[in-house]
Structure 1
C-alpha cells in the first residue's frame, strides 16, 4: 500500500531556488533537514523536495491542481517573471492544463478541472482519505 509520495527537483542556486518555490507555492518549507535541501508538503502526504544540485534534463512535468489556472498563470508571470504559457484543453480530457519551466529548466505545470462539481468531489475525497 502506498500512503505517501515525494518528488524532487534540483536547482543550481539553492537560495534563489528556495525563494522561487516559496513564491510558487505561497508558503515556506515544512521541513528543512539540512543545508541545501527543503521539503514542502503540498497536500497531506505529498511532498516536493527542492535540492541543491544539477537539474535533471527532461524531467516532469510535475503538474499541480489549482482552482483557477488563468489567475495562477497571471500571478506567476507577475511575481516570478515566467513566460506566459499556453493553456490547453481537449474535449475528451476533463481538465485544462499548462506547462512552464522554473529558471533551472525543471518542467512544472498546473491543471484545473473543467467540471467544478468534480473538483469539489476530488478535494473532498482527498481530505477524507487523509483523515480516515
Structure 2
C-alpha cells in the first residue's frame, strides 16, 4: 500500500535553494532534519525535498496544481525573475499548464483545472475541505 510520496530536487547552494523554494511555494519549510536538506509537505503525505548536492542532468517536470495559473505565473516572474513560463493547452486535456526551471535547472511547473467544479472536488478529496 502506498500512502505517502516524496520527490527531490538538487541545488548547488542550500541557502539560496531554501529561500528560492520558500518563495516559490509561498510557505516556510516544514522540516529541516540536517544541514543541506529542506522539506515541504505540499499536501498531506506529499513532500518536496530540496537537497544540496550534484545537479541532475534532466528531471521532472514536477507540476503543482494551482487555482489560478496566470496569477502564479505573474507572481513568479516578479518575485523569482522567472524568464520563460508559457501556458499551454490542448482540447483533449482538462487542464492548462506551464513549465519553468529553477536556477539549478530543475524542471517545475503548475497546472490549473479548466472545470472549476472538478477543481473544487479535487481539493475537497485531497485536503478534506475546500480552502480556495
Q: Provide the secondary structure at the position in 1 that maps to 2:87.
A: coil
In structure 1, the partner of 2:56 is 56
Distance in 1 (CA, whole Å) between partners of 2:87 and 2:67 is 14
5+ long unaligned stretches in structure 2 = none
Residue 61 of structure 1 deviates from its aligned partner by 0.1
In structure 1, the partner of 2:17 is 17
CA deviation map 1:75-115 (0-9, x unaligned)? 00000001141100000000000000000000000000000
Residue 54 of structure 1 deviates from its aligned partner by 1.5
Distance in 2 (CA, whole Å) between partners of 1:125 and 1:94 is 18
Q: Provide the secondary structure at the position in 2 that maps to 1:92.
A: coil
TM-score, structure 1 normalization: 0.95
Aligned residue pairs, count: 128
In structure 1, the partner of 2:126 is 126
Residue 51 of structure 1 deviates from its aligned partner by 0.3
CA RMSD across the alignment:
0.7
* Contact 1:73 1:84 survives alignment (8 Å): no
In structure 1, the partner of 2:34 is 34
